Amino acid sequence: MGIIWAIIIGFLAGLIAKWITPGDNKPSGFILTTVLGIVGSVLATWLGQQIFGGAQSEGVGFISGIIGAVIILLIWNQLARRRA
């Protein structure tokens, strides 16, 4: 059940990050939105552990997942802009 919960939270975090972040070069589709949110959550967990010294088993909250997804989306937009 944990993996399904992570996918649902990742999808919601990806949707909110896409809504918050300006720009036209956004990934679209269910799969990319979900991957964006999950990767953002993983990034936020890793950054939180590096900055605050958290334990490896600690997860990330929903807000942190959104922040991580926004960071990933901003990086995505910069890479897409350089290709165009």
Residue 31 corresponds to which tokens in the numbers above? 């799969």
What is the rounded CA–CA span in Å between residue 27 and residue 9? Answer: 18
List Cβ neighbours of 52 (8 Å cut-off, separation of 6 or more).
none
What is the rounded CA–CA span in Å between residue 5 and residue 22? Answer: 27
Q: pTM, whole model, 2 decimals?
A: 0.70
How many independent structural domains does the chain possess? 1
pLDDT tens, the chain, 84 aa long:
566 777 777 788 888 888 887 766 566 667 777 787 788 777 777 777 777 776 555 555 677 778 888 888 888 878 877 776
Q: In which domain, by residue range, is 47 found? A: 2-83
CB atoms within 10 A of CB 29: 8
Residue 1 corresponds to which tokens in the numbers above? 């059940």
